[in-house]
Amino acid sequence: MERILPSAGIAALWAFVGLGAGAASAAAQGAPSQPAAPDVQFISGMIVHHAQAVLMAGWAPTHGASPAVRELCERIGISQRDEIATMERWLNERHLALPDTAVGQSLGGAAMAGMPGMGPTMMPGMLSPAQLAQLDSARGPAFDRAFLTGMIQHHQGALTMVAQYMNAPSAGEDTFVFQFASDVNGDQTAEIDRMRRMLAAMPPAPRSQ
């Protein structure tokens, strides 16, 4: 779902980040400006990050997830697919390359050497190939437990990415990216709290023989 700030909110945000009148006028007219590198890096990285979450959530119907976890997965899948479409549109409007979402879906936490600005580092929160394989092999309550544990890790990584973006010198120059990052922080913090409660309510995992 695309996030649009009300006019009063935009004015307040411009004042907060110290944008000049020229930048405010261009934004008000809807003309895409040349984004700063942290904006592009955050949006590109979050597309890949979301793609892995969509993959994980998509396994719920075929892996014996409980009704509560299936409902959660459906919500995550819908919301993050919508957000991927919104972020891809933002990149397309600025004639910027789209990231390869297969990295998030198949390689898990492998080094992101091909992501602009990321360098040969691990994207925060991404599940490793071994973790993805473990989740894919689980069924029933074991899937619920592995999914909730893995998605909490995944969401915490997204919060780390938001914090890294907010600490960038140019953070807030693009009102859409700034608002989107703020929304990701709020939405995923709330979902982490919900998933922790769901995990705490589950019966203990059976001991291995």
pLDDT tens-digit map of 66-121: 999 999 999 999 999 999 999 999 999 999 999 988 755 554 444 343 344 444 35
Sequence ranges of the domains in the chain: 35-201
d(CA 195, CA 201): 10
What tens digit of pLDDT does each residue of 147-191 get?
999 999 999 999 999 999 999 988 888 999 999 999 999 999 999
In this structure, whether the domain defined by 35-201 belongs to CATH 3.50.50.60 is answered with no
Residue 36 is given by DSSP the state -
Give the Cβ contact number of residue 27 at 10 Å. Answer: 19
Q: What is the pTM of this model?
A: 0.77
Token code pair at residue 89: 């549109």
Token digits of residue 180: 């989107």
CB 120 within 8 A of CB 111: yes
Q: Which long-range contacts (C-beta less than 8 Å, at least 24 apart) are formed by 196-199? A: 196/152, 198/68, 198/69, 198/72, 198/144, 198/148, 199/145, 199/148, 199/149, 199/152
